[in-house]
Amino acid sequence: MIQDIITAGGIVAALTGIFTLAWKLFKWIDHQKEQDKEIERIKEAHQEARQEQTLIVYGVLACLKGLKEQGCNGPVTEAINKIEKHINIQAHK
């Protein structure tokens, strides 16, 4: 009789351990899926920000070139050269 109770207790403990392990594994996999979604959202936001920055840089470059055409020189030419160099380096990365 006592041996049966001990065996039943061992089975219940083993089943509880297996269930707990399975539940934790399920929760871990679910957490990984949530993290993957968040990473993808961050990547998309980063890509949008890069596109906006690219447009701003091209706008600034256009303004500087317009100033140069009107006769502004010195720092304007230097800024144009630096921006164009930066764009060229980024294009080759």
| Extended beta strands in the chain, E state | none
Q: Could you give the 3-state DSSP secondary structure of residue 92?
A: coil
Task: Report if pTM > 0.95.
Answer: no
Q: How far apart are CA 44 and CA 29, in angstroms?
A: 23
pLDDT at 1 over 90: no
Q: By the 8 A CB rule, do 80 and 58 touch?
A: no
27 — pLDDT class (breaks 50, 70, 90): very high
Give per-residue pLDDT as tens, 47-85: 999 999 999 999 999 999 999 999 988 899 999 999 999
Q: How far apart are CA 87 and CA 78, in angstroms?
A: 14
Single out the residue of 35, 82, 23, 29 nearest to residue 57, CA to CA. Answer: 82
The pLDDT value recorded for residue 13 is 95
